[in-house]
Structure 1
């Protein structure tokens, strides 16, 4: 069983038409490649002597680098043979180019979680902790190296997530996104080589399934506005939902943090919690009616409009997170009863207020204006979001064919 290392020029050009220099490691007619990180023109490669021609301006430096990398690979092979290690060609590559750092995947995971706590991103901390628990259960320990996370590992892990854990494709992909994030950080910190990166073209692909965003129609919103005989808590929950809808699908966390001091000159001025962007919106007359129901409880101009955050410890991110989570669940429970009474068959949650605004806006509002209302950084994000609700062109095209 022969094993060898050889300098080659791979015949796979990049977008600029240049070809990558690499070390090819071969065992039992199976090969893997360690890219050097440099690209040259095809005519600058000496196929007979396996080196860069003098026609290349950096020929001497590149040839010295190639010689050094080839020597490194051959030394690694000698060590493996001396230790009588029988391994596949991929395992040989990992063994030769393994990093000197002893930091593991979970070392980076712990640092990631600590950073989220320090930045008061408690919601993200809770979610990512759950994702990491799946990885720990799968490995049955916290001794996982980045070298072990190859394409085969990811494929088997995905099967485990969807089979044993019974989670959705979307959730499985979210777990993979977290693994990819930590992998990129390890590469940036030079803990592992780029060659071990298991994601991307020709490797494991992270692809989210298409999701359906369901929003209420104008008639369904009117049904909610006119529903009667609500309890005090049901009316409050509906007020919060409508407040969100009237302000272009304002996120529930931003709704709960709305203060009276942010309302002046007939407008609501607030900073979005998700991306810290400032927004100023005219207060619709329907919102004015909602505000009148809460103004008697105002203790000061800096007081919250809605009561949920009034007893929160604003210096404790975990307490804020808990109160927001409890409030959101409470609202959703009441909305379930309210929508049933209103004769609405769709599942309505606080987040559906945002989808409902998008659904009614459809293609009636210019994408640039919607981008401003949503505070999306990229117009493409707005267009992709609205694509969930724009059906007129497709409906007209269908009618043009079948209505004859």
Structure 2
């Protein structure tokens, strides 16, 4: 009958003086070893009890991990012996160290990151790669396994993000979503059982905090449009912002890729960058003055209206993303000074153009039409978004009680 025991492997001392911990499998006087990836000093090992002494930092956690590995190995051994009494120590080791069961969080995370890159989801790639790196930094190792990622572990990670990384609530939620995504993949691959899942109503619950979306009012828009005394850079930033607003809050990534050839028959025809949806919009009367300001720089019909992408490597999604981020940062810098000159106290950024369209449209436009204008896949998303700007019913209800 085979036996499995945790031992300190003294034949491979590291430069720092520590030794690896291993599972020793013995069957028919033949022995094989499975290394746990954990190293400790000999003085911290209790050979008689086969466990880590209290002198080792986090000894309880490490002992629990070792006990878990030992129990899993013994369950595998019992299953094999039930099926075949003639198994060897080699077979036991092979079953315990199958390619899937031995995969770490970081290995599955890197597969996920690579898929984002392969699918050219570069904005998400940039943010999610940073979130994975933060988690590995917190773990202090790129070899953390999924069994270690329990509710208590994630709560400590949330504290780490809040105190060390100065993350807000929404950023912490986004970090947890990435971990949940990777954990779900591990479950599907059979690396970890669902019973260990650390997310759910009675565990780590992911719930987005409500965020206030504030757009400019009609009076503030008039002040912005009529403002004089702007520098050429500020004028350009205002033009791009107004172009976005006039086309239902078009995202800056789409605005910068609009070509003159996309405009014909009094309409703009373009493919949305985020989800590749095709949209045709009538050009509002006010937009022609913006277009006229850039006609002199037009070299051909296929040229971009705005100059930021004219030197971009259009075959490189990474270069397009980099130039978009640079341009957005530049616009926001000048929009801040524009707001000050116009006496607008609200934060003015490129994204606020979208909120401003939502605020001014209010309940004037049917929700189905707004869904198409916003390019939302689900009308539920449109309803939730527009709820930030429709206050009429609440205001009238409040007035009906207080105006006596």
TM-score normalized by structure 1?
Answer: 0.76
Aligned ranges 1:98-137 → 2 under 5 Å: 100=98, 101=100, 102-137=102-137
The residue number in structure 2 matching 1:326 is: 326
How far is the alpha carbon of 1:195 from its aligned partner?
1.8
How far is the alpha carbon of 1:94 from its aligned partner?
9.9
Q: Does residue 145 of the first structure (1) align with residue 152 of the second (2)? A: no
**Take 1:397 and 1:290, find their aligned partners in 2: how far apart are those partners?**
41
How far is the alpha carbon of 1:93 from its aligned partner?
9.9
Q: For the Cα contact (< 8 Å) 1:94–1:147, is it kept in 2?
A: no
Q: Deviations over 1:153-176 (max 9, x none)?
A: 111111111122221011000000
**Take 1:99 and 1:280, find their aligned partners in 2: how far apart are those partners?**
56
How far is the alpha carbon of 1:95 from its aligned partner?
4.5
The residue number in structure 1 matching 2:312 is: 312
Q: Deviations over 1:159-208 (max 9, x none)?
A: 11112222101100000000011111112222222222211232210112
The worse-fitting range, judged by mean Cα deviation, of 116-125 and 196-205 is 116-125
**Take 2:319 and 2:381, find their aligned partners in 1: how far apart are those partners?**
32
**Take 1:295 and 1:327, find their aligned partners in 2: how far apart are those partners?**
20
**Take 1:402 and 1:129, find their aligned partners in 2: how far apart are those partners?**
52
Q: For the Cα contact (< 8 Å) 1:332–1:350, is it kept in 2?
A: yes
Gaps of 5+ in 1: 1-82
**Take 1:117 and 1:153, find their aligned partners in 2: how far apart are those partners?**
29
The residue number in structure 2 matching 1:249 is: 249
How far is the alpha carbon of 1:378 from its aligned partner?
1.2
**Take 2:329 and 2:70, find their aligned partners in 1: how far apart are those partners?**
48
The residue number in structure 2 matching 1:53 is: none
How far is the alpha carbon of 1:264 from its aligned partner?
0.7
How far is the alpha carbon of 1:118 from its aligned partner?
2.0
Q: For the Cα contact (< 8 Å) 1:99–1:193, is it kept in 2?
A: no
The residue number in structure 2 matching 1:233 is: 233
The residue number in structure 1 matching 2:342 is: 342
The residue number in structure 2 matching 1:272 is: 272
Q: Does residue 388 of the first structure (1) align with residue 388 of the second (2)? A: yes
Q: Deviations over 1:327-361 (max 9, x none)?
A: 00110000001111111000100000000000111
**Take 2:71 and 2:244, find their aligned partners in 1: how far apart are those partners?**
55
How far is the alpha carbon of 1:236 from its aligned partner?
0.7
Q: Deviations over 1:357-404 (max 9, x none)?
A: 001111111111111111211111100001111111111111111111
What secondary structure, in the 3-state scheme, does the structure 1 residue paired with 2:286 have? helix
Q: Does residue 403 of the first structure (1) align with residue 399 of the second (2)? A: no
How far is the alpha carbon of 1:120 from its aligned partner?
2.3
How far is the alpha carbon of 1:84 from its aligned partner?
6.6
Aligned length in residues:
323
Q: Does residue 180 of the first structure (1) align with residue 160 of the second (2)? A: no
Q: Deviations over 1:78-114 (max 9, x none)?
A: xxxxx9779779x759943898422111111112222
Q: Deviations over 1:11-68 (max 9, x none)?
A: xxxxxxxxxxxxxxxxxxxxxxxxxxxxxxxxxxxxxxxxxxxxxxxxxxxxxxxxxx
Aligned ranges 1:293-304 → 2 under 5 Å: 293-304=293-304
The residue number in structure 1 matching 2:368 is: 368
The residue number in structure 2 matching 1:156 is: 156
TM-score normalized by structure 2?
Answer: 0.76
**Take 2:142 and 2:312, find their aligned partners in 1: how far apart are those partners?**
35
**Take 1:105 and 1:271, find their aligned partners in 2: how far apart are those partners?**
37
Q: Does residue 258 of the first structure (1) align with residue 235 of the second (2)? A: no
Shift in CA distance, 94/310, structure 1 to aligned 2, threshold 3 Å: farther
**Take 1:150 and 1:95, find their aligned partners in 2: how far apart are those partners?**
18
**Take 1:164 and 1:309, find their aligned partners in 2: how far apart are those partners?**
37
The worse-fitting range, judged by mean Cα deviation, of 121-130 and 327-336 is 121-130
Gaps of 5+ in 2: 1-48, 52-59, 76-95
**Take 1:213 and 1:149, find their aligned partners in 2: how far apart are those partners?**
35
